[in-house]
Structure 1
Amino acid sequence: MSSVNDSRYLYDIQKKMEAMLKYQKPAERDQKLLQYYIDQLFTLPCFRTTVVPPPGFGIFARYVRELHIPIPGYPYNMKMRLTGPRGSTIKRMEDFCQCSINVHPVKYDHVVVYIACADYINVARWRVDLAEKCIMEILRIPANGRDVVYQMQMAELAVRNGTYESRMMYFH
């Protein structure tokens, strides 16, 4: 799908979700449909691509990597940034990378992340490397000050809490 068609599709989804939130009482809302709208609108741009793993060879094994990520002076709680609203960011990352990801906080600006994958050894290493890149991408704060991860997580949280205000979101 081209970016113009993708932007138009996301705009239509946003309008449908806003109508649902505006005209339906919380008890009357179709929760599966609302979850679909949330998944479509608030999936981070880095998880919208399709990746193809290398062909598997070798033995089938469980590959585990432990990452210690200390970033002194980091302005956000790292565990919450990786986890996202109600665990949605980490769930999307696990679906995208097809790995199990566990985040353990040490301090506000230091976390230990365990990434595990069971597959052919070369594919498992590739998936764990991909998960590590995704984690570092989520933790990166852009120099231009426009933090897309934070904006999308806060907008998703507002929808889930029922405090979402109708405003145009900027989609890439």
Structure 2
Amino acid sequence: MGIDRISPPLRGDERETLRAFLDFHRATLEMKCEGLSTEELRRQSSPPSTLSLLGLVRHLAEVERTWFRRVINREEGLPFLWSSEKDFQAAYDASNATREEAFEAWRAEVEHSRRIEREAESLDVTGHNSRWGEDVSLRLVMLHLIHEYARHNGHADFLREAIDGEVGA
């Protein structure tokens, strides 16, 4: 399949740079999962942790959905992808998930996120984070997602190496 991962610009403006870094990290997650079967993607890390690559993909779909659609786009009543109880942790349980459904949901949420970001007038556009009880800017949301992906891509490095010895990227 080959994942297209662009390098962030060395002299881009703020929005272009944030967009590129976020897309770089999205592509990195996809690269870490490339070529693995559903069963391999479900493989959990060292006990007692139940973390898996498939669980990370599901979690990051929920993260994209929450920050861009619920917070910035203010889509009220938007259900959680994998929990009727609004439990963020439910996404990590990939025991009955398939590669296809997880990646389909993640890619759909990434496309929603990209559309919302493109349509926003500026990085100063705000949405409301109900958990914090505060308004937040699109700039903060993009930086938060870069942080979230970078952290979880570190987890993905270890998970992938444990599956087949593949490292790097």
Shorter-chain TM-score tier: under 0.3
TM-score, normalization by structure 1: 0.26
- Whichever structure has more strand as a proportion of its residues is 1
TM-score, normalization by structure 2: 0.26
* Structure with bigger gyration radius: 1
